């Protein structure tokens, strides 16, 4: 899908110097040397080379050594392709390059730069860092609890802000402001910016998600799970005028099959790659290690300093940095012995948890088929997770007495959500369009949950239980635990009597 041919037709972007780099997903990725290359070459962006895209998945899939750097470059490219397509439609409809007060060039280039910078704020081990370090009370109280917020601070307090300012002086008016609005946690007030924000990250199939599905499946060797027809999804997308403004994306009804495949494959990637049982076990170990070494490595302190305007400590943080420090800490006598042992397990791939019993996949069915899957997922996670774990532990205690300690059993629950719940602005609705002669003749809202139910794509809970390998060494006891756990989980969800799954 060629991008440069369209970019050079835009009055401002056509004056920039363009080049290309090789990529295993798209073959060639176009970039400009005037702005994008300068951002890529900054120390703060180069840091993303030292943060793996999939945290610990390489412990299961040896090829999963790709980085946030590669993904960010890919999202820049895909956001450019997507925004160029949408912009072409808007220029034709409006009869000029002025779109709701913004130049077409600015909207396309801002989308590309937002794609490039969308993961800038990730800490070492990405989501594990966010869940363990950024979620602590002190950082939450200071509004430093989200990698997107940290990314905006890194833009503000590093040379990237100067690069964006220089771009404005060369004719890319207000590009810094537009990029910041596209990257913000909150939606922009301007309808057209809400449209382009969807293209980058906040939609059913944004550039961010399409790239990581294709890239992650490529590097893990699971292409059958992440194969999506991104070109058909993009080519079949159009800016939809709803209430006299363009802020929504409508998908051609002829492309609903590609959407169905995308949602199915997204679920497959979560079930088989992102929630792989061994990866989940190591993620739990990593969480315990990060919590234990936070003070020694100054992780929370680095975030606090960033919030105060000093990014120097945070820019040093990467997977490699933490690994190097852990190699020193593993033999440090003033550390608690159990923490030193966990560090060694983590460094040398010693999985402390053994999965017991089966994978339990419980479908979530909305009331009347109307309730949003996001509501289902979050209600489940809020109401049942702790109760489920307590029920499993109670069953084990009743049957095995003091032979098993509570802390030696762990129940892991996740929601397999076909739609990207956390990033959707309006997760219950998307728009579909009937096209005739290249023009939309009918645009209607369509419930995403209704679409999934009609297509047989149902959100599910996946539940697994684990037991400590160090505390339990008897193979027969592991087998007995598996039987008890399976019975307890079935009983908790009343699997034998529920018709079709859990209704909330």
User: What is the C-alpha end-to-end distance of the chain, expressed in Å?
Assistant: 43
Tell me what the mean pLDDT of segment 260-270 comes to: 94
Question: Is pLDDT at 427 greater than 70 in this prediction?
Answer: no
A 10 A CB-CB count for 383 gives: 11
| pLDDT band (50, 70, 90) for residue 502 | very low
CB burial of residue 89 (10 Å; 0-12, 13-18, 19+): middle
Q: How far is CA 453 from CA 68, 193, 360, 365, in A?
A: 34, 31, 20, 9
Tens-place pLDDT, residues 28-53: 999 999 999 999 999 999 999 999 99
* Cα–Cα distance, 467 to 488 (Å, whole number): 15
Contact 448, 204 (CB under 8 A): yes
In the chain, pLDDT over 70 holds for what percent of residues?
Answer: 91
Residue in this structure with the two tokens 């081990």, named with its chain if needed: 125
Question: Is pLDDT at 438 greater than 80 in this prediction?
Answer: no
Contact 396, 484 (CB under 8 A): yes
Tens-place pLDDT, residues 274-308: 999 999 999 999 999 999 999 999 999 999 999 99
Contact 252, 238 (CB under 8 A): yes
* Cα–Cα distance, 68 to 115 (Å, whole number): 12
pLDDT at 6: 59
In the chain, pLDDT over 90 holds for what percent of residues?
Answer: 73
Tell me what the mean pLDDT of segment 107-111 comes to: 97
Q: How far is CA 457 from CA 213, 268, 297, 364, 449, in A?
A: 18, 11, 44, 10, 9
Angle between helices 385-400 and 373-383 (to 10 degrees): 40
The DSSP letter of residue 190 is S
The whole-angstrom distance between residue 99's C-alpha and the CA centroid of its chain comes to 30
Contact 250, 431 (CB under 8 A): yes
Tens-place pLDDT, residues 203-230: 899 999 999 999 999 999 999 998 999 9
Tens-place pLDDT, residues 164-192: 999 999 899 999 999 999 999 999 999 99
Helix (H, G, I), strand (E, B) or coil at 102: strand
Contact 462, 413 (CB under 8 A): yes
Contact 465, 412 (CB under 8 A): yes
What is the length of the chain? 504
* Cα–Cα distance, 424 to 436 (Å, whole number): 29
pTM score of the predicted model: 0.93
pLDDT at 155: 98
Which domains does the chain show, CATH number per domain?
4-280 (1.10.3210.10), 353-416+459-503 (3.30.70)
Q: Could you tell me where the beta strands, DSSP code E, fall in 340-459? A: 353-365, 409-416, 429-436, 439-447
* Cα–Cα distance, 223 to 245 (Å, whole number): 39
Question: Is pLDDT at 1 greater than 70 in this prediction?
Answer: no
Tens-place pLDDT, residues 155-165: 999 999 999 99
Higher-confidence residue of 96 and 339: namely 339
Question: Is pLDDT at 149 greater than 60 in this prediction?
Answer: yes
Contact 401, 487 (CB under 8 A): no
Residues 384, 387, 393, 396, CA torsion sign: negative
Question: Is pLDDT at 25 greater than 90 in this prediction?
Answer: yes
| pLDDT band (50, 70, 90) for residue 448 | confident
| pLDDT band (50, 70, 90) for residue 497 | very low
Work out the mean pLDDT of the chain and round it to a whole number: 90
Tens-place pLDDT, residues 363-416: 876 544 445 555 555 555 666 788 888 899 999 999 998 888 888 999 998 888
């Amino acid at each position: 899908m060629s991008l440069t041919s369209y970019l050079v037709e835009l009055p401002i972007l056509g004056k920039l110097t363009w080049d290309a780099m090789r990529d295993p997903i798209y073959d060639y990725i176009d970039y400009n040397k005037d702005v994008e290359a300068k951002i890529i070459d900054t120390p703060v962006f180069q840091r993303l080379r030292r943060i793996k895209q999939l945290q610990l998945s390489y412990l299961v899939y040896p090829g999963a050594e790709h980085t946030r750097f590669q993904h960010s470059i890919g999202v820049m490219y895909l956001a450019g392709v997507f925004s160029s397509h949408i912009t072409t439609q808007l220029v034709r409809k409006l009869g000029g390059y002025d779109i709701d007060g913004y130049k077409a060039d600015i909207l396309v280039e801002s989308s590309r730069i937002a794609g490039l910078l969308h993961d800038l704020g990730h800490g070492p081990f990405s989501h594990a860092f966010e869940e363990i370090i950024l979620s602590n009370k002190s950082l939450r109280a200071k509004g430093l609890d989200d990698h997107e917020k940290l990314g905006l601070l890194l833009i503000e307090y590093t040379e990237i802000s100067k690069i964006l300012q220089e771009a404005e002086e060369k004719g890319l008016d207000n590009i810094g402001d537009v990029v910041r609005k596209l990257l913000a946690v909150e939606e922009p007030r301007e309808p057209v910016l809400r449209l382009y924000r969807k293209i980058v990250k906040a939609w059913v199939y944004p550039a961010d998600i399409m790239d990581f599905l294709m890239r992650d499946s490529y590097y893990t060797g699971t292409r059958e799970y992440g194969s999506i027809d991104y070109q058909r999804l993009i080519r079949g997308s159009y800016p939809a005028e709803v209430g006299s403004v363009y802020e929504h994306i409508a998908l051609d009804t002829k492309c609903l099959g590609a959407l169905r495949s995308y949602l199915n494959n997204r679920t497959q990637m979560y079930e088989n790659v992102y929630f792989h049982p061994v990866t989940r076990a190591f993620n739990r170990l990593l969480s315990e290690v990060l919590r234990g070494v936070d003070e020694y490595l100054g992780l929370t302190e680095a975030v606090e300093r960033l919030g105060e305007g000093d990014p120097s400590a945070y820019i040093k943080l990467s997977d490699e940095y933490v690994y190097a420090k852990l190699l020193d800490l593993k033999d440090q006598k003033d550390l608690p012995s159990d923490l030193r042992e966990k560090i060694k397990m983590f460094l040398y791939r010693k999985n402390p948890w053994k999965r017991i019993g089966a994978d339990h996949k419980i479908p979530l069915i909305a009331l009347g088929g109307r309730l949003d899957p996001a509501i289902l997922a979050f209600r489940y996670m809020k109401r049942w997770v702790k109760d489920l774990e307590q029920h499993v532990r109670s069953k084990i205690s009743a049957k095995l007495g003091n032979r098993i300690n509570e802390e030696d059993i762990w129940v892991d629950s996740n929601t397999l959500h076909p739609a990207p719940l956390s990033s959707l602005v309006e997760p219950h609705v998307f728009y579909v369009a009937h096209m005739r002669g290249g023009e939309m003749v009918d645009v209607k809202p369509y419930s995403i949950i209704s679409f999934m139910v009609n297509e047989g794509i149902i959100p599910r809970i996946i539940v697994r239980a684990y037991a400590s390998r160090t505390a339990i060494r008897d193979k027969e006891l592991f087998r007995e635990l598996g039987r008890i756990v399976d019975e307890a989980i079935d009983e908790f969800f009343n699997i034998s009597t529920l018709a079709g799954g859990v209704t909330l």
